[in-house]
Amino acid sequence: MASEIAVTVTTRVEAERAVARLILDLVEARRLAGDGCALGLATGGTMVGVYAALVELAVAEGASFEHVATVNLDEYLGLGPEHPQSFAAFMHAHLFGPLAERCGLALERTLVPDGLLAASDPIRAARLVEARIAELGGLDLQLLGIGRNGHLAFNEPGASHRSRTRVVALARATREDAAATFGGLAEVPRRALTMGLGTILDARRLAVLAFGAGKAEAVRTALSGPIDRARPASALRRHRDVSLWLDAEAASRRP
């Protein structure tokens, strides 16, 4: 059964602000209801502006993140939080550090998959992610980018839409896209721990962003054509509550 994805085409800056607003509204609604709030978070260039907008809004409005818990989608195998290219370091720099300092986010309630444990005990590292999500009662919102090759998190083409958190091999295109930040392709890890597509589809709501012409083909597969393993982004049509924010370039091949 395919569901309709709510698509908004706008400028990148407007999209970043809209998603930041959506997250903050959810965080605040949960606080007012006296409930915890469980956010699924993502990394990558797409998220930098989203997190900057979120911190700016949260600080301006005096928002509290004391009741918020977070779980990240993925991490490179073998990279610990002190590695500058780790997703743990990214999250700390762009979001966790500022929100801990200004808005009461408890760092012990944030979880980025453990890249070091994933290298030595992949089953345990994967179970910790699934168990944390279960303990939180599921994720209220999962934030997502889309890879140039259509991947969601590190679910590369071929991944089952029912897959759970596990260690995977990275596609060549994914490693090439990361090469610049690592200072060369040879430095980019070959494997990663990632939430599965099934894990992602269990989140109650998905907020997805894609910017630039390089994402246009992946966006097309998200919105039209077959829903199958060859196209991880097509799994988005299996979820009932997906909002997708695009700039004009990323939307240019949309049917």
Please list the active-site residues. Answer: 74, 149, 151, 156
Side chain identity, residue 151: H
Closer by beta carbon to ligand PGA, 37 or else 42: 42
CB 132, min distance to ligand PGA, A = 21
Within positions 151 to 180, which residues make up the interface with ligand PGA, using CB under 6 A?
151
CB 145, min distance to ligand PGA, A = 3
Alpha-carbon gap, residue 81 to 40, rounded angstroms: 18
Does 232 bind ligand PGA (CB under 6 A)? Our answer is no
Does 189 bind ligand PGA (CB under 6 A)? Our answer is no
End-to-end CA distance of the chain: 19
Residue 170 carries which DSSP code?
P
Does 125 bind ligand PGA (CB under 6 A)? Our answer is no
Q: From the CA atom positions of the chain, what is the Rg in Å?
A: 17
Alpha-carbon gap, residue 187 to 165, rounded angstroms: 24
Does 145 bind ligand PGA (CB under 6 A)? Our answer is yes
Report whether 126 contacts 199 (CB < 8 A): no
Closer by beta carbon to ligand PGA, 68 or else 171: 171
Does 26 bind ligand PGA (CB under 6 A)? Our answer is no
CB 106, min distance to ligand PGA, A = 26
Binding pattern to ligand PGA, positions 30-69, x when CB under 6 A?
A: --------------xxx-----------------------
Of the candidate residues 146, 201, 236, 242, the single one contacting ligand PGA (CB under 6 A): 146
CA angle centred on 232, ends 226 and 233, rounded to 5°: 80
For residues 49-72, one letter each, b for 16 or more C-beta atoms within 10 angstroms of the residue's C-beta and e for the rest, the string is bbbbbbbebbeeeebebebbbbbb
Footprint on this chain of ligand PGA (rule: CB under 6 A): 44-46, 145-147, 151
